[in-house]
Amino acid sequence: MDVNYYDFRDSSGNTNEVGDSAGIRASTGSISLDRTVYPVPWGLLSNFDAISGKSPSTQSVFPVHSTGVATNLTSDADLISTTAGDLTVTIAISDDDINTSAAGEDKMNTDLVAGAVNVGYGPVKITVSRGSDEVILGYAGGDTASTTQRIYSGTTTEHREFGPITETAGDSGVFEFDYTIKYTDGPSSSLCPVTKTAGFTELNGSGSG
């Protein structure tokens, strides 16, 4: 884009023309996590149905592998942990196209697609996978947060939307948020012991807790 100004009388009393130019282009955004490798989240022994160290011997409970449960543990007391290990990840999106305010913090708050349950979903998609199995934990950066929606896998169109993401500073162009992953998130596995329903709300549509 070019702009020109015709100054009919400059500081010397003469006619003068001055101008300026700027490029107009879209920026390619990027997304990153705060680490390349994360520890495995874990729960408390009280979260699980009876493991008893050896029954079934094919199951594991972090941080003990299934082979250790089968051969080395003598009782549930060997598995006691005093605190659960939820995992918090920081997700950062850099996109100057959304950095539109000359001053003040912008928000990423645009729905990509209208949702099936009266809410759309944003451009950030959070998934966790185990082998070929994948679970979509939710979306972020949409217009309206809807934490009542489900975690899902398969073909269902329901989802969770975590809502707008705030810019880290007025001119940074970086939009950042934290997301907590529990050991119950992600695809199921026969190697994992069964979690008791008490104290948990299932997000797969069953409505039980």
pLDDT in tens, 186-199: 887 777 777 877 66
Task: Give the per-residue pLDDT at 197.
Answer: 73
Q: How far is CA 182 from CA 77, 82, 88, 136, 154, in A?
A: 23, 16, 9, 14, 20
3-state secondary structure of 73: coil
- Which range, 100-109, 113-122, 160-169, has the best average confidence (pLDDT)? 160-169
Task: Give the per-residue pLDDT at 51.
Answer: 60
Task: Give the per-residue pLDDT at 68.
Answer: 64
Contact assessment for residue 106 and residue 94, using Cβ atoms and an 8 Å cutoff: no
Task: Give the per-residue pLDDT at 56.
Answer: 47
Task: Give the per-residue pLDDT at 120.
Answer: 72
**Cα distance between the two ends of the chain:** 59
pTM: 0.73
3-state helix, strand, coil in the chain (%, to 5): 10, 30, 60
Is residue 14 scored above 90 in pLDDT?
no
Is residue 81 scored above 70 in pLDDT?
no
- Which range, 53-62, 65-74, 103-112, has the best average confidence (pLDDT)? 103-112
Question: What is the spatial distance between Cα 19 and Cα 100, in angstroms, rounded to a whole number?
Answer: 24
Contact assessment for residue 45 and residue 69, using Cβ atoms and an 8 Å cutoff: no
Task: Give the per-residue pLDDT at 58.
Answer: 59
Question: What is the spatial distance between Cα 47 and Cα 35, in angstroms, rounded to a whole number?
Answer: 28
Question: What is the spatial distance between Cα 81 and Cα 47, in angstroms, rounded to a whole number?
Answer: 11
Q: How far is CA 91 from CA 30, 36, 118, 134, in A?
A: 11, 12, 26, 19
Which of the pair, 49 or 184, is modelled with greater confidence?
A: 184
Question: What is the spatial distance between Cα 69 and Cα 195, in angstroms, rounded to a whole number?
Answer: 17
Which of the pair, 21 or 67, is modelled with greater confidence?
A: 21
150-175 tens-digit pLDDT? 766 555 566 788 999 999 988 899 99
